[in-house]
């Protein structure tokens, strides 16, 4: 057996969880390192909230989500190329290295301009003709409101984990706060708002508590991490629904 076959045989296999963890870690590193990524995420939050307020259609929401993803994807690629170029050149000036960075920056610019055009096409007429929303707004767009709440919960979890997780840590398992608990309690709160049914709300609350208990039972999270996740999920969802109701009147 030659050296390559031996290396291949004894090379540790990556599990799906490890691959997902590496992907999340890459996103978080870009978020921590790049100021532009922070700006993109902040603008994404603003766009999602504006989409709720202006009652965008399903296809308009799809266009906005794709535009946001396109910009973030371009910024991630730009960050990766900059890191590789710096490694190859040892941070010394090189004309080709400068060209590579400029081209990647141009790709981000094209993505941002594309998103800007899509945002203009979606929002301009709605904002120009905007008036107070109908009383049936919450009932008609409860799915959008729930989606917005979950996205904001996800962003909040990512930000807190990026600040609290130590270098080389596992962002998917452990850390402050518990993302699974935050999502579970966000869904419970959304069900309570949308259904208004005590029975459905009770079942949703029980399921959320089971998720929280399982995170502690498996010792993935501490009680404090689970508690913060629960309050975060409930708090953000309540704020989103209350803001949506504010525009009804």
Walk me through the domains of the chain, giving residue ranges and CATH numbers: 17-131 (1.10.287.3610), 133-249 (no CATH)
- The string of pLDDT tens digits covering residues 72-86 is 998 888 888 888 888
Q: How far apart are CA 54 and CA 97, in angstroms?
A: 44
Identify the sign of the CA torsion 230, 16, 20, 72.
negative
Q: Hey, what are 171's tokens? A: 């962002």
The catalytic residue among 34, 60, 75, 213 is 75
Look at residues 137, 125, 149, 147 and name the one whose alpha carbon lies nearest to residue 55: 137
217 part of the active site: no
Check residues 142 and 155 and name the one with the higher pLDDT. 155
- The string of pLDDT tens digits covering residues 102-148 is 888 888 888 888 888 888 888 876 765 554 444 344 445 566 778 88
As a three-state string, the secondary structure of 146-207 is HHHHHHHHHHHHHHHHHHHCCCCCCCCCCCCCCHHHHHHHHHHHHHHHHHCCHHHHHHHHHH
Look at residues 15, 5, 4, 247 and name the one whose alpha carbon lies nearest to residue 130: 247
Proportion of the chain above pLDDT 70, given as a percent: 79
pTM of the model: 0.54
Please, what's the b/e burial string for 83-101 (b: 16 or more CB within 10 A of its CB; e: otherwise)?
A: eebeeeeeeeeeeebeebe
- The string of pLDDT tens digits covering residues 30-46 is 787 777 888 888 888 88
Cβ-proximal residues to 19 (8 Å cutoff; 6+ apart), any chain: none
């Amino acid at each position: 057996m030659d050296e390559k076959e031996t290396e291949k045989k004894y090379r540790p296999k990556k599990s799906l969880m490890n691959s997902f963890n590496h992907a999340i870690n890459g996103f978080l590193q870009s978020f921590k390192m790049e100021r532009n990524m922070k700006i993109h995420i902040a603008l994404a939050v603003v766009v999602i909230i504006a989409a709720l307020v202006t009652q965008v259609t399903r296809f308009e929401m799809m266009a906005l989500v794709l535009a946001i993803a396109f910009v973030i994807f371009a910024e991630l690629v730009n960050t990766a190329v900059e890191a590789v170029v710096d490694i190859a050149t040892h941070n010394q000036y090189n004309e080709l290295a400068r060209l590579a960075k400029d081209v990647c920056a141009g790709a981000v610019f094209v993505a941002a301009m594309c998103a800007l055009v899509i945002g203009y096409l979606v929002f301009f007429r709605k904002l120009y003709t905007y008036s107070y929303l109908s009383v049936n707004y919450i009932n008609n767009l409860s799915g959008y409101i729930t989606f917005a709440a979950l996205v904001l919960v996800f962003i909040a979890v990512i930000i807190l984990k990026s600040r609290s997780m130590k270098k080389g840590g596992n962002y998917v398992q452990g850390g402050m706060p518990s993302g699974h608990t935050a999502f579970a309690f966000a869904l419970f709160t959304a069900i309570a708002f949308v259904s208004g049914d005590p029975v459905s709300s009770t079942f949703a609350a029980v399921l959320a508590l089971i998720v929280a208990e399982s995170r502690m039972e498996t010792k993935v999270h501490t009680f404090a991490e689970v508690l913060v996740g629960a309050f975060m999920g409930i708090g953000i969802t309540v704020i989103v629904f209350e803001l949506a109701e504010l525009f009804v009147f």
